[in-house]
Amino acid sequence: MTEWFEQWFGEEYHALYPHRDDEDARRAVALIRGVVPWGPRDRILDLACGPGRHAAELTRWSSRVVGFDLSRAMLRRARERSGGRGALVRGDMRALPFRAGSFTLAVNLFTSFGYFLNEEENRRVVSEVAAALAPGGHFVLDYLNAEHVRRTLKVIEQAKGRDVLVRRRIDGTDRFVIKEIELRDEGRRFEERVRLYGADELAALLSDAGLRVVARFGDYDGAAAGHDAPRVILVATRPARA
């Protein structure tokens, strides 16, 4: 069976969300640089890089950025944006094709996690990232704030400039937020489904994979994490060898 993310993250996604520009990427990378030290030759993984907004910003500070994504369409966009800087790799985040200890820093930004119905598959992603980090390396996970989503969910939205209707709901188990996208002008429908992990649940996933959370933030400007914050941004490290 084809997963929802295999169908949705193509040119249709990019056309619907052209406003997702570079400003958020600059703010996110600036926040990370303020917390995580890295040098121009350190290897950085942008996991689920999409069209390469964050990877392009990261290449300003390192010549060894690797963008990783499943979508061929998103990787084409990332290649156009990068201008040949950095590397792009296609694959499944549940089975990273990198040697253990390859990266000084790994990032997973803009809620590009929690896609799988099977909890063990989400755990496997974190374990794969942990294995790919060098001792002393860092992982930054930027995720929606589930508490904030539950309180502020916008159920119906009409996309600007197109005949597109977006419906949002929380499933009957209270574990997933589901977005149904109807492209009325094309007669097509897509779906997004993301696990509603709480901040402590995310921290526990990282801990179970052998990572230690060293900082938490609530937005890209470094605000404190909390119930009303729009994001849950966790910075974790793989402990250095004794």
Q: How far apart are CA 40 and CA 42, in angstroms?
A: 6
- Mean pLDDT, residues 140-158 taken together: 95
Between 163 and 167, whose confidence is greater? 167
The answer to whether residue 1 scores a pLDDT higher than 90 is: no
Contact (CB, 8 A) for 199 and 210: no
Domain containing residue 133: CATH number = 3.40.50.150
pTM: 0.94
Q: Are residues 57 and 79 in the same domain?
A: yes
Q: Token pair for residue 204?
A: 């526990």
Residue 51 lies in a domain: yes
Cβ–Cβ < 8 Å for 162, 84 = no
111 and 155 belong to one structural domain: no
What mean pLDDT comes out for the span 76-93?
A: 93
Q: Which of 66, 69, 50, 48 is nearest to 58 (CA)?
A: 66
Residue 84 has pLDDT above 60, yes or no: yes
Question: Looking at residue 19, what is its pLDDT?
Answer: 55
Q: Are residues 155 and 91 in the same domain?
A: no
- Residue 143: the pLDDT is 98
The predicted model gives 143-168 an average pLDDT of: 89
**210 and 161 in one domain?**
no
Q: What percent of the chain has pLDDT over 70?
A: 94
User: pLDDT of 213-240, one tens digit each?
Assistant: 999 999 999 999 999 999 999 999 999 8
Say if residue 156 is in the same domain as residue 61: no
Mean per-residue pLDDT of the chain: 92
> Are 117 and 19 members of one domain?
yes
Domain boundaries, position 173: 150-190
Report phi then psi at 167, rounded to 5: -115, 140
| Residue 242: inside a domain | no
Within a domain: 216: yes
Task: Answer whether residue 197 shows pLDDT above 90.
Answer: yes
Q: Output the 3-class SS for 211-227.
A: CEEEEEECCCCCCCCCC
Asked if the structure places residue 98 within a domain, the reply is yes
Residue-wise burial string across 140-151, b where 16 or more C-beta atoms lie within 10 A, e elsewhere? bbbbbbbbbbee
